[in-house]
Amino acid sequence: MSTMKNISILLLTTILLVSCELYEQDDYTQEYVIESYLIADQKLPNVYLSTTSPIFEEYNRDNNGVSNATVVVREYDLQGNLNWTEPLTHIQNGAYNTNNESLLVRPRHRYTLEVTIQSDNHIIRAETVVPDTFSIRTINATSLVYQGPQQFELDLSPSFYPGRQGYYVFANETLDPENAEFTPFYADADGDREDFYQVSSGIVNETSTGQNGNTVIELKFPWIGIAFFGPNRLSTSAIDDNMYDFIRSVSIQQGGSTQSPGEIENFISNVEGGIGVFGSYAQVSVDVEVLKPGAN
């Protein structure tokens, strides 16, 4: 993926949300918002720290950014042994990152986040266990006619996650957003064109596919998940518990979306001393071509 704001897919894609759900004025108390998505085998990402906005004030992560904080990330193995401690540096608008470009997010490791607000010593904590990497073993075709007799079919190795089966989000992204033509299902859909650059499924688990514990997960990608003809990228993300809770609670409320945690109310947050998402995922993708019927 890219970043969870692109879900990265996600968020992938699927996971980040869109309406204007702000906190009810009578209940509003300003809270700190954490947003960071760790991707297996990628560089340690930015951690974004901001505050919520009351009703009648639009939330903007940059405008609400908090700069006066000490932010520390630690890596542990699954046996609880500490591997390293990394203080992050404030860049701008509440974004913190590491100066150590060699730090990669490792699958099957636990990462903790500790934020201390310098003005009042308020502490925010969160942690995530990164899902194991996995792979696309086979794909039946990389170029198919839209709604033809075949669909894109992928065989995936499962992603290990301690203590439970794997949870996945499947997504598609157009690789030619400016020029690609809508597929018929989306041609008359409500919303802006960019709303459909990425289309994603809900959460799928191994049990629901009937393949829990098997060595291969078979995915038949539905045509309804493809919004544009031309080059597309099919992605599968194995998600951690925090992203699972976030996507599930947002989907129940809104049917899915693309907003930041600071814009959504009443979602499941696993952040202590604040709200938001400190989550992780592993991802695989493959590029395909979706042909118009009748194309040579």
Q: Which two tokens stand for residue 170?
A: 């499947």
Element (H, E) at 248: helix 241-254
Q: 90: helix, coil or strand?
A: strand
Per-residue pLDDT of the chain (296 residues; tens, 9 = 90+): 343 333 443 443 333 333 234 444 456 788 999 999 999 999 999 999 999 888 788 888 888 999 999 999 999 999 999 999 999 999 999 999 999 999 999 999 999 999 999 988 999 999 999 999 999 999 999 999 999 999 999 999 999 999 998 999 999 999 999 999 999 999 988 888 998 999 888 888 875 554 555 677 888 888 999 999 999 999 999 999 999 998 888 765 544 444 555 444 556 789 999 999 999 999 999 999 999 998 65
d(Cα 275, Cα 242) in Å, to the nearest integer? 12
| Residue 208 backbone dihedrals phi, psi, to 5 degrees | -65, -20
Residue 44 is which amino acid? L
d(Cα 237, Cα 233) in Å, to the nearest integer? 13
CB atoms within 10 A of CB 118: 11
d(Cα 39, Cα 37) in Å, to the nearest integer? 6
Given a contact cutoff of 8 angstroms between Cβ atoms, the answer to whether 73 and 47 are in contact is: yes
d(Cα 92, Cα 108) in Å, to the nearest integer? 31
